[in-house]
Amino acid sequence: MSNSAPKIALVLDPADNAATLLSNAGKGDRITLKGSEGDMLSDGVIETGHKIALSHIKVGKDIIKYGQRIGVATSDIKPGEWIHLHNMESVYDKEFKKRIE
């Protein structure tokens, strides 16, 4: 676990399965969910501004943030796990690539 400062993640829409960390979190840190009820445990080290999974996201399923589809899971993602390009494909990157090809 990291230092004892409160750990907070922002949930922007009730449909979201990803939240944004407002503070660094270490493995096992309890994270308060602002904009949603409850809290969760971090599954690993996640830096401020990065995404954390609010629920299990199976490979091929949408990643939802802001109530919008922002990506697709490229591997199973556990609750509390860091979400980034190692386990998701951005729909924005995909659309941008189509436009410049």
* pLDDT at residue 60, rounded to an integer: 97
Domains (ranges, CATH) in the chain?
Answer: 7-100 (2.30.130.110)
Of 51, 50, 69, 49, the C-alpha closest to 60 is 69
Of 93, 22, 5, 16, the C-alpha closest to 57 is 16
pLDDT greater than 80 at residue 23: yes
- Alpha-carbon distance of 25 to 27, in angstroms, equals 7
**CA 51 distance to own-chain centroid:** 3
CA of 52: how far to CAs of 5, 95, 99, in Å? 18, 23, 29
Q: Cα-flanking dihedrals φ and ψ of residue 8, to 5°?
A: -135, 140
Q: pLDDT > 70: what percent of the chain? A: 88
Which tokens sit at 25? 């979190």
Q: How many CB atoms lie within 10 A of CB 21?
A: 21
Tens digits of residue pLDDT in 44-53: 999 999 999 9
- Alpha-carbon distance of 15 to 6, in angstroms, equals 25
Tens digits of residue pLDDT in 52-87: 999 999 999 999 999 999 999 999 999 999 999 999
